[in-house]
Structure formats: C-alpha cells, structure tokens
Structure 1
Amino acid sequence: MTPPRILTGQVLCFTRSPFQGDPAGSARLDEAVLIENGHISRTGPLADLRTAAPDARIERYDDHLISPGFIDAHAHYPQTGIIASWGKRLRDWLETYTFPEEMRLSDPAYAHEIAHRYLDLTLANGTTTVATFCTSHAHSTDAFFEAAQSRNLRAVAGKTCMDRNAPAGLLDTAQSAYDDSAALIARWHGTGRLTYAITPRFSPTSTPDQLSALGALWAEHPTCLMQTHLSEQVEEIAWVKTLFPTARDYLDTYESHGLLGPRGLYGHAIHLTPRERARLAEVGAALVHCPTSNTFIGSGLFDMAARIHDGHRIGLATDTGGGSSFSMLRTMAAAYEIGQLSGTPLHPAQLWWCATAGSADALHMSDSIGTIAPGTEADLVAIDLASTPAIAQRAATAADLWSALFPTIMMGDDRAIAQVWVTGEPQR
C-alpha cells in the first residue's frame, strides 16, 4: 500500500459550476490536499492534514496551483504523427492526411508506438484522461488501452467504424464493426479505469446498416459511451443531406438508428438546427467543443455560452490532430478567443472548469475525476504560474487567483506543468 501523500500549494476546489452565478466565486483555495490509496482524502490547512495523517509524505508546491488533471473529451490518437499539417477543409484533411496515416496503424507495432507517444505527450501537458477515436483496426484499440493501462490512466477509446467513403484498407462492414466492437467491449470496458466508446466516425462514412448495427450494440451495452462527429462544417452537412435524403437533419441520421442518448458524445456540433439543439438538450447528450480544430480547419465558431445557457452538457477537447495542439491550456486559450468572436467572453474559471469538471461531466465521470473532492481519484497537476518570464511578469501584478491564472491559460505550454499525478503517483 502506498503511503499517504500531502501536497501543498494553492489547491483549487470548485464548489459549483462557474456558469451559475458569479464565476469568480465558484471555487476556493485550500492550503493542502491529502492523498490516501490513490484518492483524495481531504483538503484544508496543512496542520490539520498532518494531524490526520502524521506518516504522510509532504511535497511542497507552495507557489503553484494544484488542480484536477485536464480531461480531453475528444481526440484522435492515430493522428499524432500528422498534427499541424498544412490545413485544408475537412474532407481534404481526411483524404490527404488522416486516412493515409490511419492506414499505417494497420501495423500493430506502429499502433503501439503511436499510442505510447500520444500518452507521453498528453501527460507532459497535464492531461490525465482522454477520450479518443482509434482506427478501424481492432488492434489499434488494444494498443491504446494497453498503453493507458500501463500508466493506470482513466481513459476512453473505441474502434472507429467506417464501411463507406474511405480507402478500402480502412473499411469494415456493418457486421464486422459490430463483432469487433463487441469483442473489444468484452475485453476492455470496465477493466480497471478503462471505458469503451462505441465509435462510428461520422454518418458519411457509415451506411444506415452499420449505424443500425452500432445502435443495437449500444442498446445491448448501455454503460458504454458513444462518440462521433456532428455538424462540424457546412459542406459536411450538405454531404450528409445527399447521403440521407429522408433524414430530418444531421442528428436524425444518428437518432433514427439508436445512436442518440445521454451517454453520447457529439464532437464539434457547431451548426445545429433548433430541433437538433432541443433534442440533444432533452436527452442530456454531451457536445464537445474543439476550438483549435475549429479554427485550424476553418469549421466555424461554437457558441459555448449559448449552449450552456440552453442546458447542454459541454466537454472541451483538443481534437488531435485536426486540433493543432496537445495542450489543454492552448485549447482553453482558443475557447476564450472564440468566445470573444461570438460575443460571449468566458471567465478564466469557466475555461478551467470546462477543461476539468465540465469534461468529466460530459464523460459521466464526475464522481471519479475532474474535481478535488473527498473520494475522487487523485489525478492532479501542479501548475507553475510563473513558467516563463512573460507569464511571470504578468502574474506578479495579479489581484486574485483568476487574474494570476489567466496569463498561463493564454500563454502557457508544457513548461507550466510542474508535476502530474495519476491516482496519487507522480509521473515525472
């Protein structure tokens, strides 16, 4: 059994959503956090925690922010090697970069290499949980889960299913998508800290028969998540209309095949109709905002504040590798910039909450991760609020936590990540 551990610093404890009431009052700062058996035991004054656990090891990060680890709610680990390739529109991006790279993961050794490289990069950026698409090769999902399990990470993944409009080397069938996914669910779902997500890439690359097969599979395994893409670009929506001429809208291509539900994760969801917005909110599905991807590929501006006001569950994500960074700090900065362009600026507390507690809620994991609260898993990050000279000189004049943290949101990178803990164990 691992001895107790006490971390000192500015321990960030959200007490409510910063989208409810004054964002500045949504959290408190405690002096220390006690970790026992991989979980948060309590927070409070250091003296109290030392009395509660006199044999605990004390690790001091007094000038740092101790935060929940970041949670990336939508990514494509197979695209690690093509991140920041010269940008095109969505279909061009898929055909030029994504599909050729994903075909390389037909080699199990390469899939293993990329899975480990991806998790090395995300952990270095303070991300402790990701929800990722794999490729259509079942072994790519095995490779990711094996890499995550070796690090004891809480993680979400699924085999990407496609039976049309993709290269032959990436196509499966309705039946093989069902069979492969069912076997992966049996092997991985609920094993340790792992969760399976049934994963149709998006409606244009799945026939109605495949979507129906995956909808049936989800009905048989309702504790699984389901992840896909929705209304990312206007050209994509027009394409969907030609492929599904009887559908009421893009969302209906999922809904009519059993792929709409509260454990659904719908990436992007920028250009939604009023009916789509109403149905997604009604069922409690999650929309996942991917701001660096939306600007990099030119998809549009997601109005996060409006969607939250409408009652939607919202996650935040890098969308590696259409997204141009592995960093959730950079992702928060892009979300802020998009909010400004949308006329709804986001407070630093709201941005940080989206990257932690908000994404945990989107993944239905709020009872386990995303907050520093007794009983939750000790996936934590220590943030250096003066990681570069530019950030340090700005933070030095800050009047409160949020103004001290905002320069790191806007200008920070992996240099701001002083330490990462996974179930209380340091990763550096």
Structure 2
Amino acid sequence: MNRIALRGDLLDFSTDPGFGPPDAVPGVRWRPDHWLLVDEHGRIAGVLDASVSEPDASYRRIDQRGRLILPGFIDTHVHSPQLDVIASYGTELLDWLETYTFPAERRHADPQVARAGAERFCDALLAHGTTAAVVFPTVHKQSCEALFTSANARGMRLIAGKCLMDRHVPEWLADTVESAERDSLELIERWHGKDRLAYAMTVRFAPTSSEAQMDMAGRLLCEVPGLYMQTHVAENRAEVAWVRELFPQARSYLDVYHRHGLLNERAVLAHGIWLDDEDRALLAASGAQIAHSPTSNLFLGSGLIGWQALEAAGAKVTMATDVGGGTSLSMLRTLAEAYKVQALQGVRLSAWKALHSATAGAADALGLGHEIGRLEPGLMADLCVWDWARAEIDANRLALARGLHEKLFAWMTLADERHLAAAYVAGTARFERTTIAP
C-alpha cells in the first residue's frame, strides 16, 4: 500500500464536549486546510498545516480542499438482515418483530441470501460514511459467517455474533442452549480477534432467551477474553411489561441481564428508554453502554431517551441507526433526529456532542479509542471526506452561518449520504462517489 496525504478541513474530538452551550466547549479539534498523512500500514502518520508545510515526496497527495474530513462513523447497533424491511408501515415493537423482522430473518437461512445480504449491508454502511459497527445478523450461523467474511474483505472494524433465541419465536428461527453454544464457540474460534473483527454474545432480548441460554452467554463472556455482549433493553412499554411477567424475581428489565452475568464494560444495550435511577446507576457501575437509536424510537413510537440523565449518573451513551426499525443507515440523518428527541425534552444537543457520540465517544465506549474514532497519529485511518454542501439551499445556509458551530450544525442537519465524497478504511478508499449530480 502506498502512503497518501489528504488535504482538507479536519474535525475530531480529543474529549467529550458535553451538553453545555456550543461556544468555548472542550475537546473540539478543528484544523482547517491541513494535510492528514496516512502510512503504508493504513495508520495515521501525522498532521501538517498546509499553510506551513507540505508532505514529502513519499506521499501520494489527494487534494480535498473545501471538504470536511471526519473520522468514520461508528454505528453501535444495527441489524444487517433488516435492510429488507426498512420503512415498513404501521406497527410497534412486538408487532414489528412478528410481522416484518422474523420473516425477513428467516430468508437468511439460505446461505446465498445471507452472503448477498452481507455484501449489500457492508457496502451500504461504507456508502453512508460508517466504517465500524456493532451488528446483529440472524440466528443462523451462516448469516454471521457471511457478515464477518464481507466485513473482513473490506478491512472493517466489526463486532457481531449470531442471535441467541430459544423461546417465544417461531420454530423456524429458534435455536437451543446447546446449539447456540456450539455455534458460538465455532464462530469465536474462527473469527474472534481475526484482523479487525470481534465476537459478541448476542442475546436478542430477554423474552426470547431462556435463563439457561443467558447463563451460557454470561459464562462465555467471562471465559473468553475480549468478547462483547449485545442486546436490547427497555425499548417499548409493552416489552417492559412482558419482561416483568417473565422475570418476576428481577428488580427491572436491566436487572435480568445483570443476574445472568451479561453486564460489563463491553456490553452494548440498544435503546434504554424506560430506565430508572437504579438502572442508570447499574449501567455506570458495570461500564455497559446504551446505544441510542433515535430514528427507530420515533418511527416505532417507542419513546424519548433521557440522555442527560444517563450521563449524569455516569452511564455511557453512543449513537446507533437500528436499521430496520431505524429509517436510514445515515448517521447524519440519525444525529439530526437525536437533536429533535432531546429538543422535545427541553435539551439542546450541540453538533459537537452529537458528532462526538458517533466517533470518539463510541470508540472509547467500545474500548477501541486506541484504534479508531479520532484523527491522531498511530490510529487506523478510518475516515470520511464530506462535501459541505450539495445543493443551492445548503450552500446558501452554510455561507450565512455565524461561526463554526452554526456551520457544523446546519451541515449535520441538512446533509446525508449524498454529501459523502469518499470513505477510507485503514487508508484504503472503500467508497468513492462517482457522480457529481446532487
């Protein structure tokens, strides 16, 4: 691989900007018209101020002046097979699963469908500016195999694992404790720690796993170094009520996972809307994170997350598209909806805080801050090049912006995947826009 040098406006975050007003916030690292140097190993080698110095002749120069360069987005909760049901009409969570999700996932029992779906999904992530993700495939071993194979071929940082579901699902989607453990161990042996991949014990959600299956997942989580855990929690009020019926001995929905050894610093729990103070304290104590999924929460009518309350208690919150309950793989569209979710609760989400949650904040929460999420020497060159504007309306709005935050906020609100010029994974261009039309 050749060395490359990208010239553009660099933005990343050294620390969490927090929920304060957008002026004079900590952690914002803005370097307009700089060179980003990428070495032959796909790692960031340095940053140069273009007004002061130039890369040496060993670097191939790529001039992206007038464009924004960000770390690649990190999607902390998304379902690869659910591209097939994105934008489906008219149900809440539990009906959604029965009507749309489970039939779509059934198709991935076919290895050809699984392979084609994984290829489509990984390409779509990159075309939306997402270079790393925490992903649910299906209950089928081959679905997970296909996903890892596709991500690895693209050099992506991916965390995934076959879904565990041994009850309250159609027979054609159910596994058992024994088959789930066997499949998981085989997948761990083949993929966990291979290149940039990691395995996650993937409990669909508490109602669809027996206590024995969750105990098995908790045991492997303790036995195998570096395993992640992913699941859903407290997304919908009807779901919360069902969990209360199924697990009367547990104090709360979150406590179900705690009792089975599933909460630690590598646990990713999607949604977390209907939590109380004790739940938030438990998240903080365990180090687990909530993957906030605003487009899904709005689309399915699930509720509004208390992001500030979670962080005030010491819990971590990252950003997720949750496709197909979510309505787009675009993290920019997702962040724009996250702003609205907070505004409905009287909280103003700055562009700094929003973008941090999908880059450095997500990397740190996943224990990957040493690898991705920032534009720093030594980190992998997972990054994206964005147009500030693609049409007269957003160009005019940005030209009138007063200050950097106003410009970034307008861009975050108005932009989408059509603004993406290129996506690099470990310094290799994995997506480049070929058309110039808006």
TM-score (norm 2): 0.95
Native 8 Å contact 1:128 1:153 kept in 2:
yes
2:28 maps to 27
The CA RMSD measured in Å over matched residues stands at 1.4
Q: CA deviation at 1:54?
A: 2.7
Deviation string 1:140-176 (CA, Å, 9 cap, x unpaired) is 0000000001111111111000000111011001111
2:15 maps to 16
Q: CA deviation at 1:407?
A: 2.1
Q: Given the alignment of the two structures, is residue 50 of structure 1 paired with residue 54 of structure 2, yes or no? A: yes
1:286 maps to 289
Q: Given the alignment of the two structures, is residue 258 of structure 1 paired with residue 258 of structure 2, yes or no? A: no
Q: Give runs of aligned pairs for residues 131-146 of structure 1, distance below 5 A.
A: 131-146=134-149
Determine helix, strand or coil for the equivalent of 2:147.
Answer: helix
Distance 2:420 2:286 in 1: 37
Distance 1:205 1:307 in 2: 26
Distance 1:22 1:40 in 2: 31
Q: Give runs of aligned pairs for residues 20-419 of structure 1, distance below 5 A.
A: 23-24=22-23, 25=25, 26-30=27-31, 31-36=34-39, 37-46=41-50, 50=54, 53-419=56-422
Determine helix, strand or coil for the equivalent of 1:242.
Answer: helix
Q: CA deviation at 1:284?
A: 1.2
Distance 2:190 2:403 in 1: 48
Could you list the runs of 5+ residues in structure 2 that have no partner in the other structure?
433-438
Q: CA deviation at 1:21?
A: 6.2
1:3 maps to 2
Q: CA deviation at 1:402?
A: 2.0
Mean Cα deviation higher: 405-414 or 277-286: 405-414
- Equivalent position amino acid for 2:14 in 1: T
Mean Cα deviation higher: 383-392 or 203-212: 383-392
Distance 2:337 2:199 in 1: 28
Distance 1:388 1:382 in 2: 17
Q: CA deviation at 1:75?
A: 0.4
Distance 1:248 1:27 in 2: 40
Determine helix, strand or coil for the equivalent of 1:28.
Answer: strand
1:423 maps to 426
Distance 1:253 1:191 in 2: 31
Q: CA deviation at 1:255?
A: 0.9
Native 8 Å contact 2:21 2:350 kept in 1:
no
Native 8 Å contact 1:166 1:205 kept in 2:
yes
Q: CA deviation at 1:306?
A: 2.4
Residues 1:121 and 1:155: Cα distance change in structure 2 (over 3 Å) = same
Q: CA deviation at 1:23?
A: 4.4
Q: CA deviation at 1:400?
A: 2.4
TM-score (norm 1): 0.97
- Equivalent position amino acid for 1:71 in 2: I
Native 8 Å contact 1:369 1:377 kept in 2:
yes
Native 8 Å contact 2:381 2:427 kept in 1:
yes
Mean Cα deviation higher: 25-34 or 145-154: 25-34
Distance 1:23 1:140 in 2: 43
Q: CA deviation at 1:42?
A: 1.1
Distance 1:14 1:216 in 2: 36
Q: CA deviation at 1:22?
A: 5.8
- Equivalent position amino acid for 1:359 in 2: A
- Equivalent position amino acid for 1:46 in 2: A
Native 8 Å contact 2:141 2:183 kept in 1:
yes
Distance 1:114 1:310 in 2: 39
- Equivalent position amino acid for 2:29 in 1: R
2:436 maps to none
Determine helix, strand or coil for the equivalent of 1:342.
Answer: coil
- Equivalent position amino acid for 1:14 in 2: F
- Equivalent position amino acid for 1:314 in 2: V
Mean Cα deviation higher: 318-327 or 17-26: 17-26
Distance 2:182 2:395 in 1: 54
- Equivalent position amino acid for 1:45 in 2: D
Mean Cα deviation higher: 184-193 or 309-318: 309-318
Native 8 Å contact 1:208 1:257 kept in 2:
yes
Residues 1:48 and 1:169: Cα distance change in structure 2 (over 3 Å) = farther
Native 8 Å contact 1:34 1:40 kept in 2:
yes
Determine helix, strand or coil for the equivalent of 2:333.
Answer: helix
Native 8 Å contact 1:177 1:214 kept in 2:
no
Distance 1:209 1:285 in 2: 22
Q: CA deviation at 1:28?
A: 2.5
Q: CA deviation at 1:44?
A: 2.7
Q: CA deviation at 1:121?
A: 1.4
Native 8 Å contact 1:313 1:361 kept in 2:
no
Native 8 Å contact 1:156 1:197 kept in 2:
yes
Native 8 Å contact 2:281 2:315 kept in 1:
no
Could you list the runs of 5+ residues in structure 1 that have no partner in the other structure?
none
Distance 2:14 2:135 in 1: 29
Distance 1:341 1:254 in 2: 30
Determine helix, strand or coil for the equivalent of 1:149.
Answer: helix
- Equivalent position amino acid for 2:328 in 1: S
Aligned residues: 426
Deviation string 1:278-306 (CA, Å, 9 cap, x unpaired) is 11111111111000000000110012122
